């Protein structure tokens, strides 16, 4: 099985860091707490906090499902495109 390169891993880390910033910015603009967004999205507060930190476990970048991102977008009352970073990294294995 092919493995990702360090460049690909770094690109994903950057992407998830921007995703985390977007989540936090939009949540604050909506005047909601992390707990509010988590509960209304069907997540634990801990899980949502990790997404706002851009990680899923210490040292591992976040990788939320599309279903989770759609639920969060609905709670925040924004289109999913507002949450996702504009520049998508190339994740194809080479």
**62, 66, 63: which is closest to 81 by C-alpha?**
66
CA 82 to chain centre: 12
Is residue 77 classed exposed, middle or buried when 0-12, 13-18 and 19+ CB atoms within 10 A define those classes?
Answer: exposed
The per-residue pLDDT for 90 is 83
The CATH number of 6-82, from 3.40.50.620, 1.10.260.40, 1.10.490.10, 2.60.40.1180, is 1.10.260.40
Q: Is the pTM of this model over 0.85?
A: yes
pLDDT, tens digit, 9 for 90 and up, residues 52-75: 999 987 788 999 999 999 999 999
β-partners of residue 55 are 61
């Amino acid at each position: 099985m092919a493995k990702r390169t360090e460049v690909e891993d770094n690109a994903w880390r950057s992407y998830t860091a921007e995703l985390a910033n977007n989540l936090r910015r939009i949540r604050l603009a909506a005047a909601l707490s992390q707990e509010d967004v988590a509960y209304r999205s069907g997540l634990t507060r801990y899980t949502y906090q990790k997404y706002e930190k851009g990680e899923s476990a210490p040292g591992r970048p976040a990788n939320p499902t599309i279903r989770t991102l759609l639920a969060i977008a609905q709670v925040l009352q924004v289109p999913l495109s507002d949450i996702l970073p504009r520049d998508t990294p190339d994740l194809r294995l080479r």
